[in-house]
Every structure is written in C-alpha cells, then in structure tokens.
Structure 1
Amino acid sequence: MPPSISLPATLITPPLQGACDVVVVNYNAGEFLRACVESAFAAGASTVIVVDNNSRDCSLATVEQCHKVDDSLIIVRNASNLGFAAACNIGTRYSAAPHILFLNPDTVLSSDALGGLIDTLNSSPSIGMVGGFLCNPDGSEQPGGRRVFPTPQRALLRAFGLSRLTRFFPAAFADFLLHKDPVPAGPVEVDAISGACMLVKREAMDMVGLWDEGYFLHCEDLDWCMRFGHSGWKIMFVPCARITHEVGVCSRNRPYFVEWHKHLGMLRFYRKFFRHRYPILLWGGVVLAVWFRFSLVVARHAVRQLRRSAEARKHA
C-alpha cells in the first residue's frame, strides 16, 4: 500500500551544490522527533524529510505544531511499519540534494555538526560516507559510531563477554566496536559507522544502490557500509561532529520484537558477506550461536520484566 503523503508528490527543485537534505525515519519517537527536526534545520539542512512508519503517538503532531509542512519540511506517512531500510529509501526519493543525511529521530545535531560532516565528505572524491561522534546525554561516546566489521567470530566474542580479554590478547579477542579507543584528533577512515547518523554523497549512493530492504531493523547500516567499501568508497568518522543520541527511544517498548529482527538481521548480514568463507558445519554453528544468543537476550528481558512487575506490586 503506497504511503500517505502530506505534500503533493512533486519533485523538489535541485538545490545548491553544498546543500544537504535530512531523512528521519520515525516510529513513536514522541517529543524527541521535534528536537531532532529543529536541530537539523538549525544545523543548516535544506529539507527535512520525515518518513513515519505508522506511529500511534503525538510525534508528528508536535512537529507540525512548530514547523509548517512546506518545501523545507516533508512528512511521508506510511500506512504500516515498513521497517527502517524501506523507509530510508522512501525518504531518499523525495530528495534531490547532493548530500543526504540519514538521522535517527532520537538524535540532536550540534550546531556545527552538519558543516563538519559535509566538509569531510567533500574533502576527497573517494569519500562516500561519513558519520559523527555519537554521544550519550552526559557527553560520553556511544558504541557503534565507529567500528570494524563484526565478523561472526568478533560478534560471538562480544556476545559472550570474551571481548573483555582484548587488553590481554588483542589479536585473538579484538572487539569490533572502537568507542573505547582514544578519540582521534581529526577525521579517520573506518570500516563502518552507525545508521543513527550517516551522511552520504548522492553519486556514491547512485553507484552502490539504496538500502537493502531485506532488513527490517538492525544491521542494514552495516550492510550499506560493506557495500560502499566493496565499491571503493571510503567511510570516515568525524570526531568534531557531535550528535547526542538517546538510544532506543523508538524500540524500548517492544524488546522482543526488536531482538527478533536484530538477530534476523545478523544472519542476513553474515549470509550475504561471510557465508562463502565457512564450511557448512561451521556455518551451522554460527546460525545456532546467533539463536542461542537470542534466547539468552529474551530470557534477560523476561527476568527484568518479572522484577519490575514484582516491584510494582510491592509498592501498589
């Protein structure tokens, strides 16, 4: 079913060469969405395109109260939750800018973040994608903003806590997340960045292709980074571009749904890019390990819910 759109489906006039459109995929982000949109305009976005995956909260209403829906703000209302990758692709089709920033609705850009990202993206014709310094509200760096590719081995080591041995055996137990490494003084090349804040060149995107809609939620950003790298485009981490990120605003009320799709995404990512490296028995072990991890995560969520329910009854 096609999305319901708040504007006539007309093409946007191509903006100036340095212009940047921002695509925000929303799902029940509440007041966070308005703060995200306001920060994007304050940072210099040409157009903000909000693609809503059938939210049931007040998030769109809060944005519409503060910003007129016109050529600079486009709201696309999907009739159902199509997933993150599909919604990103829908947003892309409403943009004609040479740069597109994909931004989570629970993020806030610092005033100079977008300029720093664009400067780095345009500093070399070989750079196709850049990401900024994702930080918690207290200013500490979040995991995922800069990383190497999580091979099945690296992912399993982290999942079962063995990556803590990295400081003793760095070659054998290396983590794929780099947030514990010293923050670089300037932009550095990395394997992958986070889909929470991902700025791309249109020419690179045209070469690589759109997001893989086979992912519903999680790992689609790793997939895109992998494909950018395979196509010869560099990916950069820009530490001066700070983005505050409230993790999990859109997903915290559906932990089992989110974890199910997260683990499906893991398997799709591994199957696409690593399956050919493994004999069938070892690949079977990878699949079993992913679902074993899923069972542990589900059990952990269930225990937490039981504890919260017990506490609520105690104080009732």
Structure 2
Amino acid sequence: MPKVCIIIVNWNGKDIVSKTLESVMQLTYKDFDVVVVDNASSDGSVEFIKNRFSEVKVIMNKKNLGGTGGFNTGIRHALKKKYPYIWLLDNDVIVDRDSLLSLVEVMEKDSGIGIAGSKILQMENPDIIWEVGVKMDWNKVGRVLINHNMKDTTDDHRVYEVDHVAACSLLVRTSSINKVGLMDENYFWCFDDVDWCLSFKKGGFKVVAVSDSKIWHPNFEEKSKGKISKRNYFSTRNWLYLIQKHTNGFQKMRCIRKTLAREFSAMFIYKLNDNEYAYRIFSMAVKDFFFAKLGGVTGDFDKAAPELKSELKSMGKIIDIKKLNPRKILIYPSTSISDARKVVNAIRNILPDAEIHFLIEENRKFGLTDLGINTFIPYKGPTRLYFLELLKLRRNSYDLGIMPYKTFSDIDIMKRILRYEDDQFYEIERNNMVLQITKMLLSTVVGELLGTILLPFWWTRKFAHSEYLVK
C-alpha cells in the first residue's frame, strides 16, 4: 500500500493532541509517517510530543500561521519527500482504527479523486453524525451538511461525491496538489478547507466523503457554545472572501448582497442593544474584507474585541432560582448540547418538581431525551419563533425563561429571563418586547438597504490568489 504522510497542526494543544496521536498509532494501516507542525506554542507542546512520541517528526513554525499556514508547512515537507498521499488531521480528533485504510482504498480505486474525507461523528455524542461531506447551496447562500445529526449506522457504506470535506480528516492525492496548489493562506483559519476542495473541483478532481472512514471531533457549535468570538470574525470575513473567489456574475452579486444585508442587520441590532463586543467583531470582519486585510489578525483585534467573559459578568447579578421557586420554566434554544444538559441538570438538582419545557430543533433532541424534560417545543428558526409563535409561547404563562448562555438579540417573552454561565444563574435585564420587535424590523430594513447600496464597492474587490501555487 502507498505510504501516507499524516500532518497534524498544533497550537497550544498539549492536553488534546496526545489523544489524537494515540489513536493514530492504533491505525490498522501501518505504512505512514506522522508530522506535527507546531504554530509557536507556548504550553510546552513541542517538548511533550518529542518526549512522549519519539517516532513523530515535529516541525516548528516561528509564529502562529493558523491552520492554513500550518498545514502548508507540513504539505511542503511531504511534497519534498514525495509521499503519494497526505492526510490532514486536526489536533483534537480521535480516529477509528480503519479510518485511513478506508480512505486509501477509495482513492486507489479511482484516480480521478483528488480529496477524500471521513464521516465526522460528534465527540460529545459518539453515535451521532456531524457530517459526511458538505454540498454548497449558493441559491440559499449556505451549505448543506450531509446526514447532519443523524444516528450512525453500520449499513451505510456509500462514497458521497460532495463539494467539500472538513480538514479535520482530509486525505489528498499529492500529485493533484501540483496542479491545484497549496491552501490559500489568506484564510488563516475557517473556510480554508472549503476553498481548497472547491479549487480541486475546479481543477477537474472529484471530492468525496467515505462513510466507512470514521473520526470523532468536537463539533464547532460545542466549541463556541453560541458565543460571539474570534471565530465569528473569521467566518464572516472569510465567507465573503469565499464568495468573491468561487462565484461569478449574478450569482456573486446575489450572494454578496445577501451576506452583506445579513451582517449589516446584525451589526445594527448589536449597536442598538449596546453590545459593543459583537458589533466590533462583525464590523471588523466586513471592513477587513473590503480593505483586503486577510490572513491572521494583529493586536488591533484584541483591542477592538475585549474578553467576552468579562462582558458577560457585567450583564447581571447572580440569582438564587430556589428563592424564585418557578413552577414552569422554558429553556431557550441551544447550539451546545453539553451546555443544555448542564442547565437542565442544574435546574433538576435545585427544583426537582419544576415543569421544564425546551425550545429546540427536532433533530437535536437526541442528546436530551434522558433528562426528564416535560415538553420539547419544535424550534424552526428565529423568524418563525419571533413572528409566528411568539404570542403562543407567551400565552403558556411561563414563570421563568433560561438561556444556556447569553444570546444577543432575543425578544423577551417571559416574565423573567436568566442566563446560565459558569454554574451560576445571572439576571438578564428585561427589554420592552414591542421595542425589541421594532429594533429587529428596523435592523432588517437597514441591512437590506446598506447591502444593496454598498454592493458595487464589495463586488468589485480584487484579491491575489496565485502566490500559493506550487512552484
């Protein structure tokens, strides 16, 4: 079987990368070398890896080049060594014993495949699929994750032809890189793997996801727990860059206009609600895209976006919910199942007889059904919630609403709303519901207007991509 170079990018991940390496060493496919590219870690990662895994080659970057630059460092090494295949892995995944074997077998059977990715299962819910590849939906300006949130089954042995797979487990044919080029370091982090896969498809190669190849990865929603963070900056800026690079004509115009309208609307509502942190994150992302300030961010980012935790602490006082003694509680939607479980368990420990209703998407109930929640209320997105079901929920006379974390543009439909953060319940200042609805409608109008008026300036932006072609 052909030899594979496994590349793992690490940045201050000493506590997690060891589990990834341990799982790699258990692979049934044995013809491989492992390279860890360290992005100038300060937590002793390099020394730890060298001492614990002597068979692993460590390449040290002088500064943090992001996931994109880190992978490119490893890819350049693999190209010089002439490995037939390169397997990119995140530093926080656990790989199935047969995961690499399944990928190589598929690639060996079809020389037209340039990239093959794994079925990604959720670390927090090991039998639940996060995705088996992704399809782009430019008509809706979004992406469709294949088999997202479905229960895993041993009966599915399909190989899906997709638009992109995640770089947390991505096997690439080395010879195809000479035609397509390296990863675009303008991204630094987030959507870089999407861009690379789309570039492979433009180059005439197929991109596939292999059901028999399994890895486990903490899903991004669990990582962010719905909080506004640097990831929001990169995802917003890089999504605009992705559209600029991979769409044309009317499709590009429509995608950029719709994205700008959404971002300007969000910025406006954050500003109206005095959420300077979120406003600065999104405004910096849009501004940096326009001025072609790509790649990694400088110290200006941290000046504009102070630590989220300190801002959350200032949002309300700690509340003893036992003294409130609510009989009927509504828990707001949560992107983080682990956070949702924490808040339900906390309520049950303090108020065992309280009636708990949970507003949640239908395909996300799987991680909560064992907690004794009285009622699951289907949640189909904020538009439906705010404008069609708002009064219905209000008529249910809930004594208390609880958010697993603080969200930033909610309409108050409860008598009282708390946020659960760091094992404490915090008071959230109530806002006038009519005023909040007015703000949301106004922000939508402003977003649409600004997105349309400013479209020509963004649509004509030009960027250089050629520097990442293999020389």
Instruction: Normalising by structure 1, report the TM-score.
Output: 0.76
Decide whether aligned partners of structure 1 residues 145 and 51 sit closer, same or farther in structure 2, where only a CA change above 3 A counts.
farther
**Which residue of structure 2 lines up, in the alignment, with residue 257 of structure 1?**
230
> Are the aligned partners of 1:34 and 1:59 in contact in 2 as well (CA < 8 Å)?
no
Q: CA 1:117–1:310 in 2, change beyond 3 Å: closer, same or farther?
A: closer
Secondary structure of 1:148's aligned partner: strand
1:77-96 maps to which residues of 2 (within 5 A)? Answer: 77-95=60-78, 96=81
Structure 1 residue 250 displacement after superposition: 12
Contact 2:11 2:39 (C-alpha < 8 Å) held by counterparts: yes
SS of 1:51's partner is: strand
**RCO (CA 8 Å, sep 6+): is it higher in 1 or 2?**
1
**Larger mean Cα displacement after TM superposition, 179-188 or 237-246:** 179-188
The answer to whether the 8 Å contact 2:115/2:173 transfers is yes
Residues of 1 paired with 2:265 and 2:56: CA distance?
Answer: 44
Local SS of the residue matching 1:139: coil
Distance in 2, matches of 1:105 and 1:281, equals 37
1:286-310 Cα offsets, whole Å, 9 max, x none, are: 22324545787948x7663675269
Q: What percent of counterpart residues are identical?
A: 20
Q: Give the Cα separation in 2 of the matches to 1:94 and 1:227.
A: 21
Equivalent-residue separation in structure 1 for 2:266 and 2:170 (angstroms): 28
| 2-structure distance, mates of 1:276, 1:208 | 23
Alignment of 1:121-160 (within 5 A): 121-137=107-123, 138-151=125-138, 153-155=140-142
Structure 2 residue identity aligned to 1:41: M
1:107 paired residue among 72, 88, 93:
93
In the alignment, which of 241, 262, 285 is matched to residue 268 of structure 1? 241
- Look up the SS of the partner of 1:149 in the other structure: strand
Q: Which has more radius of gyration? A: 2
Alignment of 1:1-316 (within 5 A): 18-43=2-27, 44=30, 46-68=32-54, 72-95=55-78, 96=81, 97-137=83-123, 138-151=125-138, 153-155=140-142, 176-180=144-148, 184-247=156-219, 256-278=229-251, 280=253, 283-290=256-263, 292=265, 298=278, 304=405, 307-308=420-421, 311=424
Distance 1:59 1:291 in 2: 40
Do the aligned partners of 1:130 and 1:238 also contact (CA within 8 Å) in 2? Answer: yes
SS in 2 for 1:238: strand
Question: 2-side partners of 1:126 and 1:281: how far apart?
Answer: 32
Q: Structure 1 77/118 Cα, relative in aligned 2: closer, same or farther at 3 Å?
A: same
Contact 2:244–2:252 (8 Å) recurs in 1: no
Q: Deviations over 1:121-148 (max 9, x none)?
A: 1111111110111112332344344110
Query: What is the identity, as a one-letter code, of the residue corresponding to 2:197?
Result: C
Q: Quote the residue 1:6 is aligned against.
A: none
Q: Structure 2 length as normaliser, TM-score?
A: 0.52
Q: Which amino acid aligns with 1:223?
A: D
Look up the SS of the partner of 2:51 in the other structure: helix
| Preserved contact between residue 98 and residue 203 of structure 1 (Cα < 8 Å) | yes
* Equivalent AA in structure 1 for residue 219 of structure 2: V
**Closer/same/farther in 2, CA of residues 207 and 250 from structure 1, 3 Å limit:** farther
Residue 217 of structure 1 aligns to a residue whose secondary structure is coil
1:141-188 Cα shifts (integer Å, max 9, x gaps): 443441101426242xxxxxxxxxxxxxxxxxxx61112478743222
Query: Could you report, residue by residue, the CA deviation over 1:175-234 in whole angstroms, capped at 9, with x for unpaired residues?
Result: 611124787432221221111110000111111111011101111111111111111111
Shift of 1:54: 2.0
How many angstroms apart in 1 are the aligned matches of 2:254 and 2:102?
A: 47
Residue identity in the other structure for 1:77: M
Alpha carbons 1:31, 1:62 under 8 Å: kept: no
Q: Which has the larger displacement, 192-201 or 53-62?
A: 53-62
In structure 1, distance between residues paired with 2:254 and 2:116: 37
Where in structure 2 are there 5+ consecutive unaligned residues?
A: 271-276, 280-307, 313-404, 407-418, 428-471
Q: Which deviates more from structure 2 when the two are superposed, residues 88-97 or residues 53-62?
A: 53-62
Residue pair 1:148, 1:190 contacting (<8 A) in 2 also: yes
Deviation at 1:259, TM superposition (A): 1.5
Q: For the Cα contact (< 8 Å) 1:267–1:290, is it kept in 2?
A: no
Displacement after TM superposition at 1:84 (Å): 1.2
Deviation at 1:41, TM superposition (A): 3.1
